[in-house]
Amino acid sequence: MKVVAGHSWDLSPGEAVRVQRTLAARVTLTDDAGPVRYISGVDVAAGSRFRPDRPARAAVVTVRWPELTPVEQVVMNVEIRFPYIPGLLSFREIPALLPVLERMRYRPDLLIVDGQGIAHPRRLGLAAHLGVLLDVPAIGCAKSRLIGTLQGDLGDVRGAAMPLQDGGECVGYALRTRTGVRPVYVSPGHRVSRESAVTWVMSLAVRYRLPQPTHLAHQAAAGRHVAPVT
């Protein structure tokens, strides 16, 4: 798929924050995705700091909706330069994902990202940043919380959800995708509403805690064999 980086990725933390403030204004929270046929999950497996020789690996797995059968998988060894800094994750992972995204033959109708959407200090988490950059509907589904607070206790039954609030606004939801298992943190990334983001993640998390596209991308990035791509 075509990818147009509107700026350099060789930035200082301070410059990255500036970019986020600018791009955050482009995020849309309106559901305008047309008929959804293909959904892609992306993930990056960082190289071990104990083995700098081993490269990091970026992966994208596209599945057909609603069967959730893989139709395409792209995995590449990549080099990561930007360090992990809470709040600036996208500047570390997006450069690694670009070459993988460019090799995709399918244009996803929806992107599921392993990270936050607008549940971010400047409302531009990895999912929102990717969504705006690619102009594709995107949803952030993180395994842990970056910002925001929950009112009370989240029920422990699959489907339980509770607003994640920050600065007086709802930036997403804590969502229990599996009974008795830690919740995930769902927030819209781009061109998706808060409610739809939750509905999509529930519909996609049919087997594991994480949505199938994300789970498959994670496996692929980890170098494990995944279900045959048809």
Interacting residues with DNA (CB under 7 A):
43-46, 48-50, 84, 86-90, 114-116, 120, 125-127, 140, 142-146, 221-222
Write down the least CB distance from residue 230 to DNA, Å: 27
Write down the least CB distance from residue 218 to DNA, Å: 7
Q: Which residues fall within 8 angstroms of residue 48, CB to CB, at 6 or more apart?
A: 54
Pick the closer one to DNA by CB: 8 or 144: 144
Pick the closer one to DNA by CB: 66 or 85: 85
Pick the closer one to DNA by CB: 37 or 145: 145
Write down the least CB distance from residue 92 to DNA, Å: 8
Pick the closer one to DNA by CB: 13 or 66: 13
User: Distance (Å, rounded) from C-alpha 120 to C-alpha 170?
Assistant: 11
Q: Give the β-pairing of 138-142 and 110-113.
A: parallel
Write down the least CB distance from residue 197 to DNA, Å: 14
User: Distance (Å, rounded) from C-alpha 126 to C-alpha 157?
Assistant: 28
Distance from the Cα of residue 216 to its chain's centroid = 13
Write down the least CB distance from residue 67 to DNA, Å: 26
Pick the closer one to DNA by CB: 69 or 190: 190
Beta bridge partners of 43: 59
User: Distance (Å, rounded) from C-alpha 228 to C-alpha 219?
Assistant: 13
Q: Which residues fall within 8 angstroms of residue 224, CB to CB, at 6 or more apart?
A: none
